[in-house]
Amino acid sequence: MRLHPTRCFDNAAHDYATLTVRPLSAAMGAEVIGVNLATLTDAQFAEIRHALFRHRMIYLRNQVGVGHAEHAAFSLRFGPFAEDAYTNGIEGYPAVQPLIREADDTSDMVFGEGWHSDSPFLPQPPAITILRAVQIPPFGGDTTFANTGLAYQTLSEGYRALIHPLRIHFSLRDVLASAQAAVTPSDSPIGKLAATRNAAELPIDLKRKVGGAFHPLVRTHPVTGGKSLYIDPSYGIGIEGFLAEEAAPIMGYLNAHLLQPAFSCRLRWEPDMVTIWDNRLCVHQAYNDYAGHRREMYRTTVAGEIPQ
């Protein structure tokens, strides 16, 4: 099924008192204009939060003055930091995760390159992710997003009823296998996974992530009450109680349905841009298409609930 989002989702801007919103695509995403995250008032924060839940992903340009401290403080306004599944943060800011790819890095895998929701293999996956750009390539290095609520709404009543009771198995298994097969520097998040390629046994923490977690395939947003598909082709490996060959057509169909271009938007980064997305409302994908150029980003994640 290939659909366009008309009538199923309204990405129009709401009227806000303290900021302006400019929608990105019909399916999702919006630019927030007129605020700086380093000097945010409570009223501005409340409207940013509202805009995030409405548009699924929002971004702010020209966030000059937002460094690691301001980034971390802004993140904490949404709630405590989530467990970070990949890095140990940077000196002085353990919750600020560096995502840096050097110009001479010719790895055949970059962090976040398959469509995914952040760390769904954890029992309580991060709710929200905040990514700040310091240096971006002259072209490439974009991030695309897809609206999981819109994908759910455009399924037939019959298919929705079929998938409602199902629980999906999320695991680091396939991403770990891809990293172990990749050529990549050892100090990158993917490099740390790749370094386990010859280990007789995986470290206990990695075993836990490969074991993964079972979550509802249709999840309900704890604030808006909206329903979304909870699936992605990177970490979703099965359905509870189903044989692999039984789960594959359901997951294949849902991933293809979710990832059709009509449900997506593509973000072109700029230095000093900060982007915020809600992992309960969208999936995203980075691209390995800027070898020869440096990309420097920093990420925080906000703790989420057990998905319901």
The footprint of ligand SIN (CB under 6 A) covers: 99, 111-112, 118, 129, 143, 284, 286, 297, 299
AA letter at 2? R
Cβ nearer to ligand SIN, comparing 110 with 229: 110
Least distance (Å) between residue 299 CB and ligand SIN: 6
Least distance (Å) between residue 289 CB and ligand SIN: 11
Q: Are 258 and 229 in contact (CB under 8 A)?
A: yes
Q: Which residue is nearest to ligand SIN (CB)?
A: 112
Residue with tokens 């199923």: 8
Q: Are 116 and 232 in contact (CB under 8 A)?
A: yes
Least distance (Å) between residue 293 CB and ligand SIN: 14
Cβ nearer to ligand SIN, comparing 257 with 299: 299
Cβ nearer to ligand SIN, comparing 257 with 295: 295
Cβ nearer to ligand SIN, comparing 190 with 286: 286
Least distance (Å) between residue 82 CB and ligand SIN: 12
From start to end of the chain, where are the E strands? 20-23, 30-33, 57-60, 97-101, 128-135, 143-147, 167-170, 213-216, 218-220, 227-229, 236-239, 264-267, 274-278, 282-286, 295-302
Least distance (Å) between residue 28 CB and ligand SIN: 16
Cβ nearer to ligand SIN, comparing 117 with 153: 117
Q: Are 100 and 296 in contact (CB under 8 A)?
A: yes
Please tell me the distance from the alpha carbon of residue 296 to that of residue 136, in angstroms, as a whole number. 6
